[in-house]
Structure 1
Amino acid sequence: MIVTFLIRSFQAKKKKISLNKPIVFIVCALLFFLNTNAQNSKKDSLKTQLKLANTVEEQFKITVELIKLNTKTNPALALTYAEELVELANINKSDSLINKANLNLATVYLYLENFPKSLQYYFKVINNAQKDTDPDVLVSAYVNSGNIYVFKSDYKNGIAKYTKALDYLKAKTKLNFARKAGVLNNIGSLYKEIKEYSKAMVYLNEAIKLSKQINDQGNIANILNNQGQVYQHLGKNDLALQRYLEAMEIRKKTNDLTGLATSNFRLGQYYYSIKNFAIAEQYFKKITSTKNDSGSLSVISQASFYLYNIYKQQGKYKDALQSIEVHKNANDSLFNEARTRKITQLEMQFEFDRVQNQQKIKQREKDLYSWLIGITLVLSLAIISLLFFLQKNKAKRLHLEQNHLKLEKQNLEKDIELKDKELTTQVLHLVQKNELIDVISEKLVDIKSNMNTESQQQVQKVITDLQSNLQPELLKEFKLRFQHVHNDFFNTLNEKFPDLSPSELRLCAFLKLNLTTKEISAITNISPKSIEIARTRLRKKLNLTGTDTNLVTFLSQLEQASVHQNLQA
């Protein structure tokens, strides 16, 4: 991890911004135990180790250390290492390493104040962490993205991100207690800014409780100041003053010069709010008389402006003029510092982007040239081979397709013919069965009249049994079986000759099976003469009148044409 974001206090960053509006001061917790020469020596040593590293894991670990050492002093170089770190992680294809690499890249962009890019990578870390949950990575991602929202004065989103970070600070370690206390303090401060004071105190009380457990005096002082502001907003001035004084004592004991400036400002602001300008002046003058380092410039700017207002009300115009001069000089220094930093960051980002774009363009040109040569050779070979094989196989394929279609047609015709015979046989068998039952039944009826009563009853029972075997639904059954064999026959007829009646369609089916007039008469119980008349009408509707075309042949060819079309389709 490059940076542990423990928010200690809220300080002003922009020109003429009151300290009552918190802009999160991102604490870059890189603890420098060695002097500058020792750091340079360590950098050189790490670069040598990076060249000698044999595995991706070793390279990854060393690159992370180089990013840590360069993030504050040379962010542009840190950005280069961060990009290399992402490439290493992608080579390794480890979700955990990819997330850590993206986190480092997001943090470097945060130092460069490229907030959109930084947020983009923090969100990427959060989304990818669902695959490989690492609490430390998620805490940093949520807290840092929350810091960015607070920089943009989007306090509600800042609270949301800080709250998510708390979900991953479950481990009961000293480090986690410190981090959790810092996050709780931040949430309490933001609730104070949106004037939800009861919620603010809940989080601040929890934060100070954790900080006392680990004796984190710096954070205790920060929280006491925040509690003092909440009490002051609620009109509980005695409690507010008590908290400010407690924070002051802690900072005196720890010799926290920046913290002392903040405590003096809070006390001065407190006495100014209750119109005790004499005591307020004493605290503000303690601030303006300190060394104008970058850490206290913003506090000096605000304190001198308060002094200006005090002196103006008291008619001390000379002192007021001096105070406004101090205020102006502090603001100018802050503005110049911010502008210089921004220009430097823009130059570094521009140079980095320029180098990256040049490398990408060169690589793209090289890749494009290689691809063009390879694609040209492959396409040429493929086209020649394709033309050769297409020409060679075209005739063979057509011949095979024709033989296949011919064979399939023959098989279908044989299959249909066989099924037609089976269907005809079944129908005729049913007809013969019905006729036989009728003949036997009639004979038994004649015999029955000459028998005694007991015998007549037995004969009647036999007649009833025989009649129960009759097939009254013969035509219906025939239609179902016929359609099963010739499923497109009726559709074809209806398409070509839509005027055919149901009885004519049924007659076509009988003729298709090559049944004789007598057989049709037996099935339909219609006289042969009527069937002959029906055949004549049918020929007329099929436009066969005056031609030598056989009706049965015509119907068979009609179905064969339909089968052929289906095969071609």
Structure 2
Amino acid sequence: MRWHYLILLIVVFMSKTGFVLGQQNLDSLINSLQYMDDDTNKVIVLNRVADKLIYADYEKIRRYAEDALLLSEELDYKNGIAKSYNNLGIFYREVGVYDQAIDYFFKSLKIMEEIDNQAGIARSYNLIGIIYYYLTNYDLSLEYYNKALEINKRQNDVKWIAGNYNNVGMIYKEKGEYEKALMCYNRSLKMSQVQNNQNWIANNYGNIGNLFLQMGKPEAIGYFEKRLKIKSEQGDSSGIASVNHSIGTYYNQFGKYEEALPYLQKSYDLAKRKSIRYTSRNAASELSEAYEQLGDYENAYIFFVLLNKISDSLNIVENSQKITQLKMQHDYKINQQLAEVEYQKTEMYYFAIAGVLIVILLIVLLFYGKQRARSRQHVLERDRLELENISLQEDLDLKNTELQENVKFLVTKNEMISGVTKKLVDAKPNFTPENKRVINEIIMELQISIDSDVWQDFELRFKQIHHDFYIQLNLKFPALTPNEQKLCAFLRLNMSSREISAITNQSIKSIETARTRLRKKLGLSNQKITLSEFISRF
């Protein structure tokens, strides 16, 4: 048993000095677990295996991370718990469940801060920044990357200084600040070369090439070829497909369509074989463009059809968002109709009273002799109005019932989506590798956040009904954030946390936390009044 521990110590030492483990070293780590006692050393190796699987088989990350978490909790090993949270977050990030991923990263950050693990704090900042990048919140992503980079520099952690310079460069590229992006990429590249970190060197080459291509510079091709060489040596199918697409796009952009074809075809074939839909879609788009420019309209049409077919298969989230948007529009149309009915009811009531008063006045002044007949007419008129009021009330009750049923439908739909997602995640180990990739894409598409247009449509209809709500609210509470004002709007319609959760795609726990903070901000912490009752005054 001693020689197994010796191999383990050697592997751990090599990883700490920056050596990138190959598959054989990863297998050695996994095999060594069966000889280890249930102590903190086993937690370290479990988390190290989970961390390395991101380059080999990310679908297995969850298993080792959960084993590490369970053992860490039994041992009350805080550092192990925090690292397990990070690895679980990475797993959920890879399958596209971003809200659950960032929840794990924030849990890890809290523990790292409690035990004052500066390297761990920096790593959590980095992972949180990546999630915000995926969500296109570039300002917030940049804020967390810079926090991580500041700690990396204090600790002279060259590996992660390089990694975070690369990440910051990607943010500057998206913001159109190309000079800053290139400066960050070059810094990252030099540091990665010193460390001989081939994965990050390849990423740097690809990022610099994409930056130059976006800027229209021919130098891009040299960087793509360097990345292709590394990815070919590593046998990284996904990376090879991606960089072949980049090279083909480069030749298309510079009008060299004949030269683009073999690269784009290879990208398409490899991506199709590996079920990498986004790359195969992009390659099909460029192939259709190249053939069209060359006058080969038959092949241009073939790849155009393939492009549409692949795009249709990727439109699950888009269609789901459209359905949700239409549902929201329907719900608020009903609210608007209810408001109009209430207004008409009030107007009719006043008209009825005025009519009755006029009738009485005419009876007294002009038709005193016909008082009994007029009185009978008054009774008939009153009965008619009562019947109309009853009819209006029944109609109002019906519309309220329809609104409640619509909300229930939305809640049921979102719960169904969450249930399906969970079942798919739990069932993934039983699928073949090719089917797992398809299942991962379905899970990612089911979990993407609702499009911001839904809120814009809701806010437009809300303002039409409650046109002075925000004005009064801001006059009384000017310090409310936009999200808190949004929550107030939902509460103004007396919507429950569950209904708000179904519409915003946030967890009920998040909504309840937001309500507690809002209650404190409104000065209601020690008052016996509900939020909905208080907000209904505005």
Structure-2-length-normalised TM-score: 0.47
TM-score (normalizing by structure 1): 0.45
More helix by share: 2
